[in-house]
């Protein structure tokens, strides 16, 4: 297991060098996005016959921001300063499996190199990580204030009024955000491995033949 410092934009080579268990300190510009954001990206951009003209500017901006970067499953607690700028008070990860219906498509379409959250994701996302060169990065749950310390700047926000604060696209600059690779581009998922071992042990305790 290695400790790696990565800066956005992240190359495919750098991502494919990562292994499950590696510690990553991530710096650069990333974007938050949860249920509403993922549904919006897939339905409005990826599976739509054409990008609506009213949404084209945001589409192009998201393509620029997400290529070689990471999306963070996070519903932050924010406050607005007297100068009008926003800052994160708490930035804990959201349970990622809720984005499983969308994540593979978002990885493929926008060129993501990282997905950040907690709890891991499923087989479709894992296959996308293998095919396109991406990893799932686990953020520590229950450490929302500590994680917020790594958010050095809120650059802008999109869809706040439409989706609400937790579901909006927050564009943030992070420095040495501490993460652990739990799904890599080689087909390994520590979440699936733990599930399989736990199931085997449970069957043993119950006396169920393997």
* 154 beta partners: 172
Least Cα distance to 153 among 135, 175, 124 occurs for 175
Residues in Cβ contact with 208 at an 8 Å cutoff, skipping those fewer than 6 apart: none
Q: Give the SS3 label for residue 48.
A: coil
Least Cα distance to 189 among 85, 115, 80, 81 occurs for 115
Residues in Cβ contact with 156 at an 8 Å cutoff, skipping those fewer than 6 apart: 171
* Angle, CA 152 vertex, CA 149 and CA 157 arms, to 5°: 110
* 77 beta partners: 90
CB 47 within 8 A of CB 40: no
Q: Choosing from 38, 73, 138, 191, which is the catalytic residue?
A: 38
191 is catalytic: no
Q: Show which residues are catalytic.
A: 38
């Amino acid at each position: 297991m290695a400790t790696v410092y990565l800066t956005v934009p992240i190359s495919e080579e750098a991502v494919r060098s990562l292994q499950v268990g590696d510690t990553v300190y991530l710096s650069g510009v990333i974007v938050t996005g949860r249920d509403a954001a993922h549904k919006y990206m897939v339905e409005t951009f990826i599976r739509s016959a054409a990008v609506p003209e009213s949404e084209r500017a945001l589409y192009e901006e998201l393509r620029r921001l997400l290529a070689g970067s990471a999306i963070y499953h996070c519903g932050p607690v924010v406050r607005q300063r007297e100068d009008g700028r926003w800052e994160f008070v708490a930035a804990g990860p959201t349970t990622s499996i809720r984005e499983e219906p969308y994540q593979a498509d978002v990885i493929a379409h926008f060129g993501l190199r990282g997905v950040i959250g907690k709890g891991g994701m499923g087989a479709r996302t894992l296959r996308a990580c293998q095919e396109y060169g991406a990893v799932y990065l686990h953020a520590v749950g229950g450490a929302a204030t500590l994680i917020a310390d790594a958010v050095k700047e809120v650059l802008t926000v999109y869809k706040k009024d439409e989706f609400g604060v937790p579901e909006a696209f927050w564009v943030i600059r992070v420095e040495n955000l501490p993460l652990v690779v739990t799904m890599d581009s080689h087909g390994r998922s520590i979440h699936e491995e733990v599930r399989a071992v736990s199931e085997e042990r449970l069957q043993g305790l119950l006396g169920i033949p393997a």
